[in-house]
Chain A
Amino acid sequence: MEYKISNRLRIAAIVLMVLGALGIAYGFIDSHSVNEGNITEYLANEAHHGGDHATDAHGDEQADTHGDTHADEAHVQDGHEVEAEGHELTHEEHVLHQLHNRPYAALYVAAFFFFMISLGVLAFYAIQYAAQAGWSPVLFRVMEGITSYVLPGGILVLVIAFVADSHIFIWMDENVVAHDTIIQNKEGWLNKTWFFIRALIFLAGWSVYRHFSRKFSVAQDNADINDNSYFKKNFRIAAAFLVFYIYTESMMSWDWIMSVDPHWFSTLFGWYVFASIFVSGITVIALISIYLKSKGLLTFVNDSHIHDLAKFMFGISIFWTYLWFSQFMLIWYANIPEEVTYFVTRIEDYNLPFFGMVALNFLFPLLLLMNSDYKRIPWFVVMAGIVILFGHYLDIFNMIMPATVGDRWFIGVPEIGSILFFGGLFMLIVFTSLGKYPLLAKGNPFIKESEHFHY
């Protein structure tokens, strides 16, 4: 069961990366073609295109899109519409920021999306070890292949965060912090040095677990038939990793995602992000397993394994919806102004992506994957998987974009370019790593049970 990344796949991945890089470059050049010099002209042109829109949008932007970062200021402006002319400069600056933020945010969303897939697989992998699952060991090498993206993907996310700076994280802008008491009060946690130290600790912990787990898993293959010591080591580090993971994942979600809206907070946010991470990870395991099986490389994976993965996709999609709704409904119900602005901007400016994502991530998996027979049909699982992955991309998009570009969002060249670039990179790294060791972890003590698994 040897696998080597085919030349066709490698070339496809490189083509995707080149196209993506062009798209990203275009995004930066295009957004910076608007600058302090011609922003007035730009807005005037925009006004010509739709008279109604310009006047409407003006009020909205002042009140909402700036919302989280300058909520207080925005409220004042909202109440003084008559004085709008006096704030014209602020409005132009504001639009300029949003335009300039867009390529950074597009890059960040795509980078995080592909990183979170491998992070979700890492958690799933550790759970399979800690639970001593008897069905999944035949999929371990696939999972190990996907988790090889954790370290490079994580580093890229951090590099983008570092370079983008206040383009994504408004609290990294000293001028803003100086006028913002709420952020000042959070400075003990939200400051650039400490943010990156924490991020490096998280990433180091996850990568170290990944490194040793892979090492022990391969060592177990070559160990004596009665020697399970590497498996036991893997079991122990998996249990320890899961404890570490649930803390760091939670903090990571506050740092890397929730802090783009530094005026807003939600207690179940960490779980919510985790559900997104987890379901995307499981979906990618299913997709790659089906791909490799279709190539005749995973003869020991039968339709019961696919069925189990599809059950996980179904169950965790519903878990994600449960958390999404819990967060939304609690805030909607109590309607406390400082919390609810988060959803007001999303419902007003992101109506289709915000509710469309719920349909993609809940209704589709619910109806497609409810039937037991459908969960065994590869093309059905692939179809549902693509819908789920697109839905969770939108989920991350909805988390980051409203805080960075406000109502000036679009899924255009910068966004699609970023997806292509990181998608290509993900494919290249994952499939190269899949080719390094045999696809069957034959030393695992549960491997016989797993090969004969049938539901």
Chain B
Amino acid sequence: MEASKVIHAIYTDDDVLMSAVKTVKAEKHHIEEIYTPFPVHGLDKAMGLAPTRLAITAFLYGCVGISVATLMMNFIMIEDWPQDIGGKPSFSYLENMPAFVPIMFELTVFFAAHLMVITFYLRSRMWPFKKAENPDPRTTDDHFLMEIAVHNNEESLTNLLKDTGAVEINIVDKDEDAH
């Protein structure tokens, strides 16, 4: 259920932001989003975000990479045309494996790295010509913005955020198209 109205609380210091997040969480308000100009250490933990599973995908992609390398080299060098090249034993994959290890290693890294990056782009919805979803341009420079949905509790929420040290509080109609 998307709220039509949201509250934007703006902070100018990451320490103040961190304590504000803790207060807001303690009051059981749901934080929609936080915009910061740089990574704030511990913010994800304070917000209670689930840990990323990107590393697990990278491991699986690496497994795909090493399989591709093994199957490819086994087919080309051992099964399809087992030539004698400089006396290297091409009777079985294992016998000639040391020569394939550099390729197996590189393809593992290649698949793990690139597919993980692409996964990251897809999951975080980033691509060229994508419209920026920035509610306030100052959040890329030196301001921090916390977005909380409003459910007929404008006043209490405003007061709470004021107390946490917000320098500016705006209530805005959420533009659904921006997402």
Please give the residue numbers on chain A whose beta carbons come within 8 Å of chain B beta carbons, in ascending order: 325, 328-329, 332-333, 335, 370, 372
**What chain A residues lie within 8 Å of B101 (beta carbons)?**
325, 329
Contact call B99/A335, Cβ cutoff below 8 A: no
**What chain B residues lie within 8 Å of A370 (beta carbons)?**
59
B166 shortest CB reach to chain A, Å: 29
Contact call A329/B98, Cβ cutoff below 8 A: yes
Number of residues from B at the complex interface, CB < 8 A: 6
Contact call B87/A332, Cβ cutoff below 8 A: no
**What chain B residues lie within 8 Å of A325 (beta carbons)?**
98, 101
Chain A residue with Cβ nearest B87: A335
B66 shortest CB reach to chain A, Å: 12
12 contacts between A and B (CB under 8 A): A325-B98, A325-B101, A328-B98, A329-B98, A329-B99, A329-B101, A332-B98, A333-B98, A333-B99, A335-B87, A370-B59, A372-B55
**What chain A residues lie within 8 Å of B87 (beta carbons)?**
335
**What chain A residues lie within 8 Å of B59 (beta carbons)?**
370
- The main secondary structure of chain B at its interface with chain A is helix
CA distance A335 to B96 in the complex (A): 13
Q: What would 10 more interface pairs be, CB under 8 Å, given A325-B98, A328-B98?
A: A325-B101, A329-B98, A329-B99, A329-B101, A332-B98, A333-B98, A333-B99, A335-B87, A370-B59, A372-B55
**What chain A residues lie within 8 Å of B99 (beta carbons)?**
329, 333
**What chain B residues lie within 8 Å of A332 (beta carbons)?**
98
Chain B residue with Cβ nearest A373: B51
**What chain A residues lie within 8 Å of B55 (beta carbons)?**
372
CA distance A328 to B98 in the complex (A): 9
B50 shortest CB reach to chain A, Å: 14
Chain B residue with Cβ nearest A322: B105
CA distance A329 to B101 in the complex (A): 9
Within 8 A of A (CB), among B95-146: 98-99, 101
CA distance A332 to B100 in the complex (A): 13
CA distance A183 to B42 in the complex (A): 63
**What chain B residues lie within 8 Å of A335 (beta carbons)?**
87
CA distance A370 to B59 in the complex (A): 9
Within 8 A of A (CB), among B47-75: 55, 59
CA distance A332 to B102 in the complex (A): 14
Chain A residue with Cβ nearest B55: A372
**What chain A residues lie within 8 Å of B98 (beta carbons)?**
325, 328-329, 332-333
Q: Which 3 A-B pairs have the closest CB atoms?
A: A329-B98, A332-B98, A333-B99
CA distance A370 to B98 in the complex (A): 24
**What chain B residues lie within 8 Å of A372 (beta carbons)?**
55
A283 shortest CB reach to chain B, Å: 24
CA distance A169 to B101 in the complex (A): 35
CA distance A335 to B87 in the complex (A): 10
* B27-41 contact mask (Cβ, 8 Å, vs A): 1 or 0: 000000000000000
CA distance A130 to B59 in the complex (A): 34
CA distance A104 to B19 in the complex (A): 67
CA distance A414 to B166 in the complex (A): 74
CA distance A329 to B59 in the complex (A): 26
A339 shortest CB reach to chain B, Å: 14
**What chain B residues lie within 8 Å of A329 (beta carbons)?**
98-99, 101
Chain B residue with Cβ nearest A372: B55
CA distance A332 to B59 in the complex (A): 30
A358 shortest CB reach to chain B, Å: 12
A352 shortest CB reach to chain B, Å: 16
CA distance A372 to B58 in the complex (A): 14
A355 shortest CB reach to chain B, Å: 11
CA distance A398 to B129 in the complex (A): 59
